[in-house]
Amino acid sequence: MASRRIFLRSAVWALTALSLCLLAAGQDSPAASSSSSASKHVKKSAASADSSSSFDSGTVTNGVYHNKTLALSFRIPPGWVLRTDDMNAPQQKGEEQKEPQAQPSAAPASSAGARVLLAAFSRPPEARAEDVNASILIAAESAASYPGLKEAAQYFFPLTEVAKAQGFTPDEDPYEIAIGTKTLVRGDFHKDVGTRVMRQSTLAMLSHGYAISITVIGGTDDEVEDLVDGLTFSSR
């Protein structure tokens, strides 16, 4: 029981990042910067990352997110907007002011080594519409925040709690999935939102001392699968 409490306490930042993703995917969200400068924002985030760390924050070039450390690429659908800086900004502000940890529904919690690597949406989060705002979220947390974490399947304990806390129901137990040179653990969820059904798939892996979660949200199973198909890994 004590181990479970440690996992859930450490998972607050992951819950926050996912809840913000869900909030932007289907509800109101504070206004954000224009999509025309999105690619520049991601590059700026990478450049401003902790210089003492060799972990790459990644860049977006020609509609594809690349991360050298993870040997990962993710194809972003044309016309989507990036909000990576916006997702990280509240966390950075909280750290600078040394404020108490924020509640999950407010802003990203301060957590050592935790950051959003990519946040992309099919339309600006502040733009309301009837359909589900499809989205992609890639987040990284220091594995040291999870005592005893040895494999990605363990990381799915708190990730499943995250999804349930947001009203999602698991479709089945997490399972392994091979994508290119990597084997990840995947969990699929759904949530009724009025007359719509929001579908979420989260893939997790451990790499370079980090727990990595890759979450996609869509309005149909086909839309989710199309997004997952945009994820590739190289053999370096």
Instruction: List pLDDT tens digits, range 34-84.
Output: 333 334 444 444 333 343 357 889 999 999 999 999 999 999 999 999 999
Give the pair of three-digit tokens for residue 212: 């990595």
Is there a domain that residue 58 lies in? no
SS (H, E, C) the chain: CHHHHHHHHHCHHHHHHHHHHHHHHHCCCCCCCCHHHHHHHHHHHHHCCCCCCCCCCCEEECCEEEECCCCEEEECCCCCEECHHHHHHHHHHHHHHCCCCCCCCCCCCCCCCCEEEEEEECCCCCCCCCCCCCEEEEEEEEHHHCCCCCCHHHHHHHHHHHHHHCCCEECCCCEEEEECCEEEEEEEEEEEECCEEEEEEEEEEEECCEEEEEEEEECCHHHHHHHHCCEEECCC
Q: 196 has which bridge partners?
A: 193
CATH number, domain with residue 25? 3.40.1000.10
Is there a domain that residue 67 lies in? yes
Average pLDDT, the chain: 75
Stretch 2-30: mean pLDDT: 49
Q: What is the pLDDT of residue 154?
A: 92
Is there a domain that residue 57 lies in? no
Query: In the chain, what percentage of residues exceed pLDDT 70?
Result: 67
Q: CA-to-CA distance for 164 and 72, rounded, in angstroms?
A: 28
Q: CA-to-CA distance for 141 and 146, rounded, in angstroms?
A: 9
Is there a domain that residue 55 lies in? no
Is there a domain that residue 54 lies in? no
Q: What is the pLDDT of residue 205?
A: 95
Q: What is the pLDDT of residue 111?
A: 46
Give the max Cα distance, the chain.
48
Q: What is the pLDDT of residue 157?
A: 85
Q: What is the pLDDT of residue 236?
A: 64
Domain limits for position 132: 2-49+63-233
Stretch 91-112: mean pLDDT: 39
Question: pTM score, two decimals?
Answer: 0.76
Stretch 95-104: mean pLDDT: 37
Instruction: List pLDDT tens digits, range 143-171.
Output: 988 889 999 999 988 888 888 888 899 99
**How far is C-alpha 111 from the geometric centre of its chain's CA atoms?**
15
Find which of 21-35, 119-133, 183-197 is predicted with most confidence, using mean pLDDT: 183-197
Is there a domain that residue 56 lies in? no
Q: What is the pLDDT of residue 194?
A: 80
Stretch 211-224: mean pLDDT: 94
Is there a domain that residue 17 lies in? yes
Is there a domain that residue 100 lies in? yes
Number of domains in the chain: 1
